[in-house]
Amino acid sequence: LVIGGDGISYAMVLQLQSYLQFHNDALKSLEILEPQLQVWHTKWTDIVQTHLGRTSGKSTNPALLGHSAGKIGRAAPSHMKKVEFYPGSRLFYLVSDARMLDCW
């Protein structure tokens, strides 16, 4: 049974399998599970790092998302290797809506 998730879910399933490895039954030992890391989590982090700026959200380049985020008072993610999806997507939508309205 293949299951997928983000990094934490993947690590927790592996940890559970490690804890339960001595059970005789394949179901009780969770041997039947095959955890897979979902690729979109990695891609999302790459997208944010590319458009926000790799080191921080403070940018002087107005084309980067980090510049717009700084102007509206949004902080950059505290840990760029693990970017939260929902706050990041809200920032993307807010900035893209503002830029589209600005072009109109």
Residue 34 is inside which H or E element, if any? Answer: strand 34-37
Q: What is the pLDDT, as a whole number, of residue 90?
A: 87
Q: What is the pLDDT, as a whole number, of residue 17?
A: 92
pLDDT tens for 4-25 read: 887 788 889 999 999 999 999 9
By the 8 A CB rule, do 29 and 17 touch? yes
Q: Shortest CA distance to 2 belongs to which of 39, 35, 30?
A: 35
Query: Which residue matches tokens 């944010």?
Result: 48
Q: Dig out the tokens for 19 from the structure.
A: 């804890």
Q: Which residue has the higher pLDDT, 93 or 55?
A: 93
Backbone angles phi, psi at 63, to 5 degrees: -80, -20
pLDDT tens for 34-89 read: 998 888 777 887 888 888 875 554 567 778 888 888 888 887 777 777 777 788 88
